[in-house]
Amino acid sequence: MNEYNLNESYITNIKEKSVLSTKDLQVYYGDNHAIFDANLSFPRHEITALIGASGCGKSTFLRCLNRMNDKIARVEGEISYRDVNINSSKINVYEVRKHIGMVFQRPNPFAKSIRENITFALKNAGITKKNDLDERLEQSLKGAALWDEVKDDLNKSALALSGGQQQRLCIARSIAMRPDILLLDEPASALDPISTSKIEETLKTLSKDYSIIIVTHNLQQASRISDYTAFLHLGHIIEYNSTVNVFTNPHMQATEDYVSGNFG
Amino acid sequence: MNAKKIDRIASGVIYALVATVVILLIAILGYILFNGVPDISWSFLTSAAQSFSAGGGIRDQLFNSLYLLVLTIIVSLPIGLGAGIYLSEYASDNWFTDLIRTSVEVLSSLPSVVVGLFGYLLFVIKLNLGFSILSGAIALTFFNLPLLTRNIEESLRSVPNLQREAGMSLGLSNWKTTVKIILPAALPGILTGLILSAGRIFGEAAALIYTAGQSAPTVDYGNWNIFSATSFLNPMRPAETLAVHIWKVNTESVTPDAHLISSASSAVLIIVILIFNLGARYLGNKLYNKITATK
Ligand SMILES: Nc1ncnc2c1ncn2[C@@H]1O[C@H](COP(=O)(O)OP(=O)(O)OP(=O)(O)O)[C@@H](O)[C@H]1O
Ligand SMILES: [Mg+2]
């Protein structure tokens, strides 16, 4: 593998309003230092992609943002959301996760009906009126481009759906909570090209109302859908810029090698 | 020798071994059912046992077995659930949980006659509970709890971690995720384990001889006051179960039809246990389909 200076980086300031930002974020798995001094600011109502080679820390970084690394890793530094440091032990993590939703690499619908997959967490959050639930059910399924395919059998098991449909159901389940931010960890990597492009379209549309942060291995995908891109290498954020610039005018050698396929 | 030949020999050996197991099972079941079923009659099931004359039934023993089973499950299920949930969802891996797991394992390998004698010394003698359904139920709880806990823990563990992450990422607490997502998904496995353990409890004799006792006093099935000495629900009365009855009839009975009684009782015991086993499969599948909403 080529050697790069990990202490040099090129990080631009975003033009848009920031929805979430990290300051000097460090992550440790026991003695293993996995993320070094991450300083990033994510734009509101845009899509930001996190790219980088396998094992560079993309998932680790993403999972810090809604405290999914609690009990798994030690996370130091600040994560600011609405002027509050949510990486503090005083914060109610369950509340945080209602505002910052997450979709995982492998679809993980509950072993319940399609309807209950959506309404379950809503009921838990105190929404109990049938009208409200039905409205959110329809809206979220439409938002995730799944409504037309399932509207006639909402009481069917979610496990009977195809992988791509299940993943869109998981997206719907997240947006039904009306979060501010949606985190996605390689949401399309287990899916066929048709399902993938459906998910991409869905995300594009959702970015009008949601701030989206997506980890992806697929560089075309990053360049197709994202507005900003962060490139990570060995736990360091090497470059952060508008996606166009990262792909056509990279400032760091490592970034250039990675996006042009000459890496390693 | 080529691979194909080796393969054929290996399959042959495996088939032979499987066939041995199946034949053994069929032979035992066949023998018991063949000898016992012709002697089962309605009056056999519904009349009291006789000490000296022929024609006694197993009404009280059958009821005692079922009553003990219900009591044991009422006592052991909450404890088993609590321990299983703790071990699978909350405990981190350290010396303490290792200790719990080892204890559970040791407890599960104790011979039931040892559990029975321990129950005799502690509950019957020391705590003065006497030969009673209660002593028997506690002894059976000791006997049942390790495997039940193990089964519940394993069933919960077999639910993929992705499900826990899904719950967490939607802002559900650990407890809510466990109770509303993980537990329902594990329920078919837990139910199957529970019913299978019910079969073991139902057929247990050694742990009960010295705890629930070997006598079946005449009780009044119309008396619902559990504190009354003659009530069929009184947990402080001695209660010979079906399995203990079979043992006793075979060892010290003086009734002329002892052989008939023991074959018929054995057949009843086996049939009930078979019903438990087949029921476990059926109910487990049914429940899984219902919970996951698959038709
Ligand atoms: N649960 C864990 N416990 C210990 N170490 C971990 C854990 N998860 C990740 N790591 C380590 O942290 C580093 C970053 O892993 P991470 O999963 O964040 O990489 P990634 O960029 O998401 O890789 P991929 O593209 O393969 O998903 C790796 O060295 C990995 O071994
Ligand atoms: Mg990853």
Closest Cα in chain A to B166: A108
Q: Does B169 touch chain A (CB under 8 A)?
A: yes
pLDDT of residue B294: 64
Measure A72 CA to ligand 1 centroid, in angstroms: 11
Q: What is the pTM of this model?
A: 0.84
Chain segment B134-164, per-residue pLDDT in tens:
899 999 998 899 999 999 999 999 999 999 9
- Whether B214 contacts B39, CB under 8 Å: no
pLDDT mean over B68-83: 93
Chain centroid to CA B222: how far?
Answer: 28
Q: Does A23 touch chain B (CB under 8 A)?
A: no
Tokens of B164: 């826990």
**pLDDT band at B261, cuts 50/70/90?**
confident
- Is a pLDDT exceeding 70 seen at residue B82? yes
Task: Evaluate the CA torsion angle A216, A218, A224, A230 in order and state its sign.
Answer: positive
Contact residues, chain B, for A111 at CB < 8 Å? 163, 184-185, 291-292
Out of A59, A75, A216, mutate this one to test ligand 1's pocket (max ligand atoms within 8 Å of CB): namely A59
CB contact set of A53 (below 8 Å; sequence gap of 6+): A233, A258, A263, A264
**pLDDT band at A167, cuts 50/70/90?**
very high
**Amino acid occupying residue A140:** S
In angstroms, the first-to-last Cα distance of chain A is 4
Mean pLDDT for chain B overall: 88
- Whether B214 contacts B120, CB under 8 Å: no
Tokens 């219900």 sit on residue: B70
Portion of chain A with pLDDT greater than 90, in percent: 78
pLDDT of residue B277: 86
**Amino acid occupying residue B233:** L
Contact residues, chain B, for A116 at CB < 8 Å? 293
Q: Does A66 touch chain B (CB under 8 A)?
A: yes
- Grouping H, G, I as helix, E, B as strand and the rest as coil, residue A101 is strand
Closest Cα in chain B to A169: B166
Distance CA A22, CA A230 (A): 13
Distance CA A127, CA A111 (A): 21
H or E stretch at A264? none
CATH 3.40.50.300, applies to A16-258: yes
ipTM entry: 0.88
Other Cβ atoms closer than 10 A to A139: 16
Query: Which residues face A103 on adjacent strands?
Result: A184
pLDDT mean over B210-238: 81
Q: Which of A193-197, B123-127, B251-255 has the lowest mean pLDDT?
A: B251-255
**pLDDT band at B100, cuts 50/70/90?**
confident
Phi/psi at A91 (5° precision):
-75, 140
Minimal Cα–Cα distance from A262 to chain B, Å? 34
Chain segment A195-252, per-residue pLDDT in tens:
888 889 989 999 999 999 999 999 999 999 999 999 999 999 999 999 999 999 999 9
Distance CA B153, CA B199 (A): 20
From A195, A189, A193, select the one nearest A162 (Cα to Cα).
A195
pLDDT of residue A56: 93
Question: Which residue of A94, A104, A116 is in closest CB contact with B165?
Answer: A104
Using CB atoms and an 8 Å cut-off, which of residues 211-250 of chain A contact chain B?
Answer: none
pLDDT of residue A59: 95
Chain segment A14-28, per-residue pLDDT in tens:
888 999 999 999 999
- Is a pLDDT exceeding 90 seen at residue A119? yes
From A66, A94, A38, A84, select the one nearest A182 (Cα to Cα).
A66
Using CB atoms and an 8 Å cut-off, which of residues 134-193 of chain A contact chain B?
Answer: 155-160, 170, 173-174, 177
Other Cβ atoms closer than 10 A to B87: 20
pLDDT of residue A2: 73
Domain ranges of chain A: 16-258
Distance CA A253, CA A231 (A): 12
When scoring A112, A113, A185 by the number of chain B Cβ atoms within 10 A, the one with the most, hence best to mutate, is: A112
pLDDT mean over A148-156: 92
Query: Which residues face A77 on adjacent strands?
Result: none
pLDDT mean over B256-276: 89
pLDDT mean over B109-129: 90
Q: Does A33 sit in the ligand 1 pocket, CB within 6 Å? A: no
pLDDT of residue A264: 67
Closest Cα in chain A to B167: A121
Distance CA A20, CA B27 (A): 71
Measure A55 CA to ligand 1 centroid, in angstroms: 5
Stronger pLDDT, B93 or B206, i.e. the higher one:
B206
- Please identify every residue whose CB atom is under 5 Å from ligand 2, which is an ion: A 59
Chain segment B222-233, per-residue pLDDT in tens:
778 877 777 888
